[in-house]
Amino acid sequence: MATTPEGESAELTSADGDTAHTIVSVRIEEALGAAAMAAICLISFGNVIARYATNVSFAFTEEYSVFLLVFMTFVGASAAFASNQHIRITFLLDRLPASLRWICELITLAATTLMFSLVLYYGARVTYSEWYWEETTPGLGNPAWIYTIWMPILCIAILLRVLGRGWAVLIRRRGAAR
């Protein structure tokens, strides 16, 4: 079985670069991230033009830009795990035997699952608190939970991608090695 430079088996990657273990295409996250980035660019460009022409800044630009940036970060994290391009130290990992790489992958997936489970839990608590107390944003007076609800929703997406990665790498590949 051929391996990639990262030590992954070639069977996990299809010809178009999408991972074979994903049921839902990574292109969804890519499209959502691109849409968020485009919206940030348009909002910021509009604000610059308005400030230059009228010497007045739009109030909503910072609020929406921060939300879109956080949204884009979570969507990017989901896409990174789905396509196995998340941050890792490969200098040492590539030099380990396959059994130790498998253990490192297990530790990575467990730590990621724990971290995003905690973000999911605390993000849901914050969202509920903002909804319960009818908290509004300082800039526009929008309900604050509209912005924070995306944190637990996108954490679920990330956790599903991590679980899919775990299934592909730890279960399927381990079974194929036997």
- At 170 the pLDDT is 76
CA 70 → CA 16, 33, 74, distances in Å?
28, 10, 6
CA 148 → CA 13, 75, 135, 160, distances in Å?
34, 14, 11, 19
- Listed by start position, the domains of the chain span 23-177
CA 24 → CA 20, 32, 47, 89, distances in Å?
10, 14, 36, 27
pTM of the model: 0.81
**Is residue 86 pLDDT above 60, yes or no?**
yes
Cβ neighbours for 165, distance < 8 A, ≥ 6 positions apart: 19, 21, 81, 82, 84, 109
What's the distance, Cα to Cα, between the start and end of the chain in Å?
14
Which phi and psi (to 5°) does residue 47 adopt?
A: -65, -40
Q: pLDDT tens digit string along 33-71?
A: 999 999 999 999 999 999 999 998 887 888 999 999 999
Stretch 125-148: mean pLDDT: 96
**Is residue 8 pLDDT above 50, yes or no?**
no
